[in-house]
Structure formats: C-alpha cells, structure tokens
Amino acid sequence: FNSYKLKDKLIKVSFKDKCKKIPLTPIITPNSILIRYFRGSFGSPEKINEFLEKIENIKERIIIPLACFIRDENDLSNFENTYRKTKDDLFDFNELNQLEKYAIKTNKTILLINQLPKSPIPSRYEKLAFALAKYQKTAIAKYSIGSSRPLRLLFNAKYDAIIAGDIIDFALGYVISKLRRIPNFNDVRDPYLDFFTRSLKLNKLLLRIFINKAKKVFYAYEYLKHEYQIDKNKAVYLPNGAFLEWLSQLNDRKYNYDLCYAGGFISNLNDFFVLIKNFHKELNYKISMLWIGLNKEQKIKIQKIIEEEGMNESIKIIEAIPHSQLRYYISKCKIGLSLKTIGGGGKEFDYAALGLPCIRLIKKGREGDDLPWVIKVSNFEEMKQVIKRLLQDDNYYKDLSLKAIESIKNFFNLNKISKILVEEIFLCNVT
C-alpha cells in the first residue's frame, strides 16, 4: 500500500496491483478517491504516483467533471465491471496535459437535484456542469431521487446553493434550503406535460405551490415561462448553448452528408423516410443523412428497416459517442435537424457553433424561441421545401451559417451562459 496524507486525513491507496490494467486518474479528497478515465492520455501507474505527489498539498475543493467515486474494494470491483461502458465517456480530455486542467480547483459548489434522463446523448445539464467547472470554478454535485446516492448527502455535504430541475425536485429543493439555510433556485428546460407525467394532478399541485418558492427561476425558452407560470420578477432567461471551442470556419469545409440528426430515436419515423424517398423521386437526388445517438438495440432495428426500404446509401447510423467526437461528425454535415417537436433543444446550438442552419419541427404551442439560424416547419412537406432551398441557394445557406456562428460568439455560448448563472445565484445570495 502507498499512503498519502491530505488535509490531515490518512488515505490508503492500492493501485499497483488492483488497477494497473485500468487507465485511471485519481483525485484524493478527505473521504474518497475520485477516479476518471482519460482515454490513455494519463494514467499509467508511474504517472498516477507522480500525480498524487503533485496534488498532495492542494487545499481547495477539487473536482473532475463526470468523475466516479472509488471508496472501497467493492467500488473498485464495480468500476472494473463497467469499465467498457465508462471508457467512452461524454467528454474527451486527451488534449489536456497539465495538472491544473485535470484537477479543477473550485470555489463554490451547487447542488443540482434533477431526474437526469437516461440518454445516450450528453444532456444540457452535463454540458453546463462542465462549463461551470471550467469557466467559473464552480462545482456541480448531482443528486437524483431514486439514485444510489444516500439521501443524507443532501443534508450533510457542503453546498453553497441548490438548483432543482424537475417538478417534484422543486419541493425537495425548497425543503432542504429552509432546513440548511441555503438559497434555492428552480430551472426549467423542458415542457412538464411532455416529460413529467408520473402523476399529472400531483405535478400540477406541486408546480403551483413550489415553482416560485425560489430566489430565481431559470427558463430555457420563452413559452416555458408561461407554461410553468413563473413569476416575472423571478424569471431569468438562461438558454442552452455551445462551447466556444467548437466554433468553426466555413471556408475549407468538406461535407459528407446533407443532413445531420443528433438526438436518438425518431417517433415519426415513417414520415421521415417518406421525405427522403420523395426527394429522390422529385429531384432525382439521393439525399444523405448522418443519424447520431441510437442505442445498440435501436440501431439494429432501424438499420433493418433502412435496408428493407433500400435507403442504405442515404442514411448512416452512429451509436452514442463522446461529446468531443460529436463535434467532428456534425462538422461533416450541412444542415442540422431538430425533430422532437418540443420547441428546440441543446443540439440546435451545437449545430450553430459548426455553422449548420437548423430545421426545427414544431407543434402548436411549442414553437420555441426564434433563433437566427433556425427555420421552423410544421410538417415534413414544409421541411422538404426548406431542405431543398438550403441545398440549392448558396447565398441563403451562407447567410444562415454566418448568423449561427455569430449567435454563438455573441451570446449563446456556455462561457457566457455559465457566467450568468453564477452571477444570478451568488449576487442574489449576497443581496
């Protein structure tokens, strides 16, 4: 065993025998070891020992975004069993090679209580959590009702503020804030009637009681402010965004695909296939699309349908990929698609950072905000006409592409959005 002393606590670590086949980056805290996989860029046993020596005297709170906890032999065994699933995590840190970039020293910690979706695509909360750590030195500790994390963590661990992101969590966040005298904030990213349907009557009751029992309420789209009946004096516009590092130049772009859809399964699959077939019939042009985010079972099922429909040359499917790789694949496409009909989503901003105009399928009452690079359509026939114009009218396409990139530069970037969040929370806390 190797022993390391940190914050007057003695922690015993045994990596040499147990972990030498697993590339690990450990962070020592008073109570546990945080371990994060870094895709081979950091993690041999020799470098682990070197890393431990370097961080031994760091006194500030330290996090690694999307890390996992290794507290004992059982945790280590569980990590080994899930290693294959963990190795292609949401963010790729290959480009980072300095200690201060691996170990992000944070000044504040926000508790996020939210029912995070089990999605193969990186969620908006996960991207924002990374942005808060990287740009604002603020850590996000996540808790979900029904998760394996003990409830006592909500009451024992140190937090500077609470954000609740689900209707039932608005109530929990409010109760904890009163018991611990920590300011609480609510956040709405999605329309509750579509997502939070465990008990509609209970949801409406909890929503009416607790939505405005917070210092501020952040909302991602204008229509959500009305749907959730947010107090206008507490409402703060906090849209989704993209990383500035994603910004792309259009001059030397080479496109492999006409369309890109990053978002998992499409419920109106038949209508979409008809659109692609009609393109071929009417224009004698085989439109190409890259479809990103299906899980393994969905991919097998959809691939079979694609083969039966004779569309192998038109549609390529890629399973869930790390967020950093998403950038590469989207950049090979010309037009982004938003097909969930709930008023937009986080991928519209990823498209924009890479200069892709986006077509958003909408339904009445859920049109979403007007964005300079997004064209709204009500059905697949309208979508077909917009795709046709974007592919045939270079000036129209370039105008929307430039508007997309400028929009990310000027406002819709996670650097600026995370700054707004931190300022609203901690200035509000002071006042």
Query: What is the reported pLDDT for 18?
Result: 38
With beta carbons less than 8 A apart as the criterion, state whether 70 and 34 touch.
yes
Residue 344 confidence class, pLDDT cut points 50, 70, 90: low
Please name the residues in contact with 74: beta carbons below 8 A apart, sequence gap of 6 or more: none
Residue 352's pLDDT band, with cuts at 50, 70 and 90, is: very high
**CA nearest 390: which of 375, 368, 406?**
375
Q: Read off the amino acid at residue 179.
A: L
CATH 3.40.50.300 fits 247-410, yes or no: no
Least confident interval from 64-73, 128-137, 201-210, 374-383: 64-73
Phi, psi dihedrals of residue 310, rounded to the nearest 5°: 70, 35
Q: What percent of the chain has pLDDT over 90?
A: 34
DSSP helix/strand/coil, 421: helix
- Spans of all domains in the chain: 1-104, 107-241+414-431, 247-410
As a whole number of angstroms, the distance between CA 140 and CA 157 comes to 12
Q: 358-367: per-residue pLDDT in tens? A: 999 988 777 8
Is domain 107-241+414-431 given the CATH code 3.40.50.2000 in the classification? yes
Q: Residue for token digits 């109530």?
A: 171
Range of lowest pLDDT (151-160, 176-185, 383-392): 151-160
33-36, strands of its sheet edge to edge: 25-28, 33-36, 68-70
- The arithmetic mean of pLDDT across residues 270-281, rounded, is 86
CA pair distance 383, 377, nearest whole angstrom = 6
Q: Which residue has the tokens 């972990």?
A: 19
- Confidence (pLDDT) at 354: 94
Tell me what the pLDDT averaged over the chain comes to. 74
| This prediction's pTM | 0.74
Equal fold, 107-241+414-431 vs 247-410:
yes
Write out pLDDT tens, residues 108-164. Answer: 888 888 875 544 445 677 778 778 877 888 877 778 777 666 677 787 777 899 999
- 215-255 pLDDT, tens digit per residue, is 999 999 888 888 889 999 999 999 999 999 888 666 567 88
pLDDT of residue 17: 33
Q: How confident is the model at residue 14 (pLDDT cuts 50, 70, 90)?
A: very low
Query: What pLDDT sits at residue 271?
Result: 86
- CA dist 124 and 140 (Å) reads 13
SS3 state at 375:
strand
Q: Does 383 or 33 have the greater pLDDT score?
A: 383
